[in-house]
Structure 1
Amino acid sequence: MRWQTTIWISAALVVTSSALHLTIEHDLLSDHSSTSSPGLQQSTRHDTVHVVSQEQLARASNENPSLNMPNALDTNANGHRESRSNENGGSANVNPDSGNNSEGSGDGNPEGNGNENDGNGNGNDGNGNGNDGNGSDDNASGNSNDPETDDNGGNGGNGNGSDNNGVGGAGNENDDDNEVGDEGNEGIEQVYEVETTSGRVRGHHWRENKNIIGYIDIKYGTINNPLQAPVLADSSETIHDEKDHNKRCPQLQGDQYVGNIDCLTLSIFRPSDASNAAVLVHIHEGNFINGSGNPEIYGPEYLVPKGIILVLPNYRLGPLGFLCLQNETAPGNAALKDLSLALRWLKQNIAKFGGNHDNIAVSGDGTAGALAGYLALSPMSRNNISKVITESGSVLSYWAIDRNPINSATNVARNINGFQTWQNVDAEQLVRAARDIVLRPCLERNTDNISHFMEFTPSAMLRNQEIKISFMIGSAQYAGVHEFLNHTRDSIHQFNVNSSLMLPKDLHFKTSEERTRAGNRVRAAYFGDTAIGICDVENLTLYFTDAAYLGPGIRTARPLVDSGATVYLYEFAFVGSLNRELEAIHRPLDGAVRGDIIGYLFTQDGKVLSEGSKEIGMINTLTELWTTFLKTGTPSAGNIEWKKLEKEVEPGEEQWLSIETEPSLKKGFHVERLNVWSDIYDAHFIEKSRACGTSASVYTLIVLQIVFFITFFKHAWHFF
């Protein structure tokens, strides 16, 4: 009898302890509805909103019982939703010059075929013999007469393991991937074909540039369920031959629904002589809701000629990418699973394009910077990444994670007429229903049979795992200008009335007095004793910059170094004619804003600046810093000796690079401003403060445990 009683007590302990643990964990992740956040203006919808009935939500709760949330807000206004000034949402921009270049005239092709007769019409694709350039018929791939790839009826250039396919003999993984030379008639472009796991893809000279080969909108994944993880795309029997970027994931442009769910594609731009080249996967910005991997915005003309392979992927956006029910219907983080799959596809295939599959970096600015950071932390993707570059976007930014995704999903459901279950909602309904609701990455749970992208918070992952990756982490000088522009005179005035409104929502305070003291300290750091007004543009923008971007970036960098990562810190402060975000918002201040750096790393609309301007000087400096980092892990340019962030260094001694007209190395990253945030987060970050404190729900469970055991022993003492 005693052993039965012991088992019974043990089971009870496990159940109640588990309940206690889950309650504490839920508290750590829940939002504070009373806590305002910088740049997040709480507003009320004035248009008609369909309200989901209790009966409908009850039916929906069969998928997720916690979906039925009372008192859900109709809106979750973002304040962070500005789009890049020239972002066209991935619209199909026609590039008339991208696919009709007149190559193949036999004028010295550098594609690794060892002579100057490529495409000269000799029936052998310019290799001068009948053996595909390998000196022996025994090494041919066996498909030299493929009618899809051999226009001249000769040997087809299908080569062999020596990879005479125009990618410079990159490795020995390219047995079946070969450049095909068209018949050597004047005016016919040489064609570049590669065999991938998705099938054969054809590349073309990009915008008449013989040194850049573009492979546009290659399918890397398939979406079988709009809210769930993708799978690798099947191999197509048809040669993929696109010259223009047309694919984009579902989104709204104004009030127009655009895009298609069959959107998991990526475009690859490689040097014509690529061999074991470093790879940069640049994630497009769009505040989690719009955009695409559009070469009209992220053009390859600056980076690729320096020996870099540029990859521009698409990924699901808005509710299709970030709706998170934390169950099998919508586990969450579909967008990040898309990007993880793209990295997996590249790991398997990029060597065939002349890339080094062990040297793949990801980059992004703003929300895309946060996505790049998540990819570096998640076990689903981190092994496929060697380096990360972020600008004005961090996994520890308060806006980078949804701590109550069920509430966000409830708000989406409220906007769907006749909502019954999520399975009955199509993509357009979802996108329209989520128009004014912020959906972000989340923690996944309750899906034991599904691979998770993120089971633990970014803070926990930074603390608890070894991260052997190199990072460049930075911010624009005035990254928070868009948050400032989302405010009004009245909302700014509220900071004078209640300084605690200036505190981000990922802070937790045990008392209102603690909150007020922290708010007063923030206000004093930026405005002293003066009243805060809408005309104080610079100080307001610096406040938003530090709260949303620079501060979280520094708080991310320090634990990364502790975990084994190499980190270089920078601030982009250059102002020139390519600061297109700054120009788009009519220069409210004189300094670089979030997204301005893009104009100096990528061409936009295909325009390349001529030599001699200060802008081309910055382009040369910036691309040199980026490419040396991508190739070697150590960024350098000219006389710049950029020092990495050292472990356990004092804040005043942190080394960082100020990127302006004359880049300069500095110590102490805006110490006086950022120390305020470091102190507040050390004491009140929700994952620390809540762990130290105990909520009412936790106290309730503790009391119930005590009552249970008192009652049990009162009636069961005679069993012992």
Structure 2
Amino acid sequence: MWSGLVVCLSLCLGVLGEGREEKLVRTHQGPVKGYKEPGDSVFEFHGIPYATAPTGDYKFQAPLHAPAWLSVLEAVDKSTICPQALIYNLTVEGGVQQENCLVASVYVPDTDQKRLPVVVYVHGGAYQVGFSNLQAPKNLARSKKVIAVTINYRLGIHGFLCLGTERAPGNAGMKDLVAGLKWVKRYISSYGGNPDDVTIAGYSAGASAVDLLMISPAAKGLFNKVIPESGSNIASWSIQIDPLEKAKKFAKSQGFENVDDVYALEEFYTSASYDVLTSDSFWDTTNFHFEFSPCIERNSEDAFLTESPYTILKNGKYKKVPMLYGFADMEGLIRIDKFDAWKDRMNANFSAFLPVDLQFENDDERDAVIQKVKEFYFDNKPVSKENVVGYVDFMSDLLFVYSMMRAANLHVNAGHDKIFLYEYNYVEGSTPIIPQSKEVRGADHCAQTFAVLDGASMYSGDESNISEEFKDVKKVMREIWINFITTGSPVPEGSSLPAWPPVGAGGAPYMSLGRTLQLRGALAEKQVRFWDSIYAKHYREPQPPPAPPTRHTEL
């Protein structure tokens, strides 16, 4: 369908006065010029519009078509970011927030090879913050085996207000990602990529997003492999449990009281100021949810998701494509900064720290679960510095580990036999120990992402000062990811790496990724059994917003 719309690649190479080599690509969208830094092997194209974000009364709807142009687009603008709260350094230096923020970056290796496999990376940030190149995939493109793409998508309220009304149906941010994948399908061959060999990858919320894309009918046929890094589509923070109630709560916090009239509520959001729409203090939530996130929509022609991810996985109603699936061994370190503030709150009211997707018929049921949790993670002692590792494990399991293992088991039960499961556990000797622990270190949230993509950490793109050992780990990790992107297997036939079969029943086997690679048995077996026993009795599936009442107009 798309092949007739794509123009063959046209290259114009030259050397600029600054020493940068340029590359001109012509597509039906318009000519685009990117550049390669001196001594590098990758051409970079930034700020390419892949869709148009609607504004005004329609700002919460699906994206509009991408613009076209006649003159050459100088693809050098890295500054565009979507509206968001400016916190936690998850913004680009010199970044400019704007509603029409739907742009892509493309990383093209300097090679004569055509129809290279493509990887599209989706950034993290709890669905609230971040931008397309928060973690750059340039080193993957330097392999000369793949083309890498990153994309912005609408965040927070702009991306995930879900009222179930015509003007705010829900999932605008996810529909942005679908539009981005359609843009890749249509135009990536002009950059030298293969539109029929696309892997979608993401980290943290980006992992949840690509996991949701995998099961959405709206994204079917736009990719053939998936890499969710530390995030699952059935995590409690991935889907709003009650999106209308969430919208009411936030509106009340801003002084709006007429929340039971859904059309008045819709008007509040469409007319709210930019500052109000980006004021959500999501990071302080204790119930393992980050406020505005994807939702279940009511049935409509352009809906992204109309059933809960749990139901879809359980019924096997999705296209099963190869998955590289896993997490770091101490993901809960992402919440270590909250320990001093939260330990006393946990001792006073532990129920506030139960996941939002658990429900109880009465206080006795809830208290029984709390008692089990305290015994499992804290030896039935008060949360304190003496059991800080139990706190980290609790956060790890409920934010990332259990939901990913639960999903993996649902996949296997549905007949999915191409999931390659791992735990990343490499830690440099210079990594600080967990405060108040006895020499305990661990791989932090999305540590595997930092090993694969550019830089030493989320906040540093520089790899010059990392240890030789970490450089070797990065080399192996990139080899595994590139193997999967190009073949659908992390260890294809003929590789020198240890054999890595797909996961089967019970979460076994999995690959331990650290200083060495070791194939092991069941992953997180004890935690999975514990939480399975609780979720089997108390799981609360997310629901779509109710149908709004018929709107009456005065004659």
> What TM-score do the two structures reach when normalised by structure 2?
0.83
Q: How does 1:671-686 map to 2 (within 5 A)?
A: 671-686=525-540
Question: How far apart, in 1, do the equivalents of 2:430 and 2:214 lie?
Answer: 30
Question: How far apart, in 2, do the equivalents of 1:506 and 1:177 lie?
Answer: 49
Question: How far apart, in 2, do the equivalents of 1:287 and 1:563 lie?
Answer: 28
1:529-575 alpha-carbon deviations (Å, 9 max, x no partner): 44432442212111211122110001111222333432111111111
Q: How does 1:300-699 map to 2 (within 5 A)?
A: 300-416=138-254, 421-422=267-268, 424-425=270-271, 428-435=274-281, 438-445=291-298, 448=300, 450-464=301-315, 465-488=317-340, 491-493=342-344, 495=346, 503-565=354-416, 566-576=418-428, 589-604=440-455, 606-609=461-464, 613-636=468-491, 638-646=496-504, 649-651=505-507, 654-687=508-541
Question: How far apart, in 1, do the equivalents of 2:16 and 2:324 lie?
Answer: 48
Query: In the alignment, what sits opposite 1:29?
Result: none
Q: Which amino acid in the other structure matches residue 616 of structure 1?
A: K
Question: Residues 80 and 96 of structure 2 are in contact (CA less than 8 Å); yes or no, is this contact kept in structure 1?
Answer: no
Query: In the alignment, what sits opposite 1:16?
Result: none
3-state DSSP of counterpart to 2:201:
strand
Question: How far apart, in 2, do the equivalents of 1:472 and 1:462 lie?
Answer: 17
TM-superposed deviation, 1:681: 1.6
Which residue among 114, 119, 124 is the counterpart of 1:285? Answer: 124
Q: How does 1:17-28 map to 2 (within 5 A)?
A: none
Question: How far apart, in 1, do the equivalents of 2:352 and 2:269 lie?
Answer: 39
1:366-386 alpha-carbon deviations (Å, 9 max, x no partner): 222111111111111132121
Over aligned residue pairs, what C-alpha RMSD do you find? 3.2
3-state DSSP of counterpart to 1:281:
strand
1:648-696 alpha-carbon deviations (Å, 9 max, x no partner): x245xx10111111121110112122210122222322249x9xxxxxx
Q: Does 1:221 align with 2:46?
A: no
Question: How far apart, in 1, do the equivalents of 2:169 and 2:464 lie?
Answer: 46
TM-superposed deviation, 1:620: 0.7
> What TM-score do the two structures reach when normalised by structure 1?
0.65
1:422-467 alpha-carbon deviations (Å, 9 max, x no partner): 475256144245345821111112x74x510011111112123042
Q: Which amino acid in the other structure matches residue 200 of structure 1?
A: P
Change in CA separation of 1:189 and 1:533 when aligned onto 2, cut-off 3 Å? closer
Question: Residues 249 and 263 of structure 1 are in contact (CA less than 8 Å); yes or no, is this contact kept in structure 2?
Answer: yes
Change in CA separation of 1:234 and 1:675 when aligned onto 2, cut-off 3 Å? same
Q: How does 1:144-163 map to 2 (within 5 A)?
A: none
Query: In the alignment, what sits opposite 1:199?
Result: 30
Deviates more, 1:522-531 or 1:410-419: 410-419
Change in CA separation of 1:412 and 1:618 when aligned onto 2, cut-off 3 Å? same
TM-superposed deviation, 1:230: 0.2
3-state DSSP of counterpart to 2:392:
helix
1:624-662 alpha-carbon deviations (Å, 9 max, x no partner): 11010111111026332112112xx245xx101111111
Change in CA separation of 1:294 and 1:650 when aligned onto 2, cut-off 3 Å? closer
Question: Residues 271 and 304 of structure 1 are in contact (CA less than 8 Å); yes or no, is this contact kept in structure 2?
Answer: yes
Question: Residues 214 and 267 of structure 1 are in contact (CA less than 8 Å); yes or no, is this contact kept in structure 2?
Answer: yes
Question: Residues 5 and 186 of structure 2 are in contact (CA less than 8 Å); yes or no, is this contact kept in structure 1?
Answer: no
3-state DSSP of counterpart to 1:237:
coil
3-state DSSP of counterpart to 2:138:
coil
Question: How far apart, in 2, do the equivalents of 1:536 and 1:219 lie?
Answer: 49
TM-superposed deviation, 1:586: 12
Change in CA separation of 1:498 and 1:430 when aligned onto 2, cut-off 3 Å? closer
TM-superposed deviation, 1:359: 1.5
TM-superposed deviation, 1:240: 1.1
3-state DSSP of counterpart to 1:293:
coil
Change in CA separation of 1:577 and 1:260 when aligned onto 2, cut-off 3 Å? farther
Query: In the alignment, what sits opposite 1:36?
Result: none
3-state DSSP of counterpart to 2:217:
coil
Query: In the alignment, what sits opposite 2:260?
Result: none
Question: Residues 444 and 455 of structure 1 are in contact (CA less than 8 Å); yes or no, is this contact kept in structure 2?
Answer: yes
Q: Which amino acid in the other structure matches residue 105 of structure 2?
A: S
Question: How far apart, in 2, do the equivalents of 1:392 and 1:568 lie?
Answer: 14
3-state DSSP of counterpart to 1:216:
strand
TM-superposed deviation, 1:583: 9.6
Change in CA separation of 1:440 and 1:218 when aligned onto 2, cut-off 3 Å? same
> Rg: which structure is higher?
1
Question: How far apart, in 2, do the equivalents of 1:367 and 1:609 lie?
Answer: 28
Q: Which amino acid in the other structure matches residue 642 of structure 1?
A: W
Query: In the alignment, what sits opposite 1:241?
Result: 74
Question: How far apart, in 2, do the equivalents of 1:342 and 1:620 lie?
Answer: 29
Question: How far apart, in 2, do the equivalents of 1:586 and 1:180 lie?
Answer: 59
TM-superposed deviation, 1:501: 5.2
3-state DSSP of counterpart to 1:267:
strand
Query: In the alignment, what sits opposite 1:8?
Result: none
Deviates more, 1:191-200 or 1:537-546: 191-200
Question: How far apart, in 1, do the equivalents of 2:281 and 2:380 lie?
Answer: 40
Question: Residues 289 and 317 of structure 1 are in contact (CA less than 8 Å); yes or no, is this contact kept in structure 2?
Answer: yes
Query: In the alignment, what sits opposite 2:287?
Result: none
Question: How far apart, in 2, do the equivalents of 1:657 and 1:537 lie?
Answer: 27
Q: Which amino acid in the other structure matches residue 545 of structure 1?
A: S
3-state DSSP of counterpart to 2:356:
coil
Question: How far apart, in 1, do the equivalents of 2:333 and 2:85 lie?
Answer: 24
Question: How far apart, in 2, do the equivalents of 1:275 and 1:172 lie?
Answer: 17
Q: Does 1:276 align with 2:115?
A: yes
Question: How far apart, in 2, do the equivalents of 1:493 and 1:378 lie?
Answer: 41
Q: Which amino acid in the other structure matches residue 51 of structure 2?
A: G
Q: How does 1:34-73 map to 2 (within 5 A)?
A: none
Question: Residues 285 and 367 of structure 1 are in contact (CA less than 8 Å); yes or no, is this contact kept in structure 2?
Answer: yes
Query: In the alignment, what sits opposite 2:13?
Result: 181
Question: Residues 221 and 232 of structure 1 are in contact (CA less than 8 Å); yes or no, is this contact kept in structure 2?
Answer: yes
Q: Which amino acid in the other structure matches residue 470 of structure 1?
A: P
Q: Gapped runs of 5+ residues in structure 1? A: 1-170, 691-720
3-state DSSP of counterpart to 1:480:
helix
Question: How far apart, in 2, do the equivalents of 1:640 and 1:261 lie?
Answer: 47
TM-superposed deviation, 1:502: 5.1
1:486-544 alpha-carbon deviations (Å, 9 max, x no partner): 2446x434555666555322122334333333332222222334443244221211121
Change in CA separation of 1:192 and 1:520 when aligned onto 2, cut-off 3 Å? same
Question: How far apart, in 1, do the equivalents of 2:68 and 2:291 lie?
Answer: 36
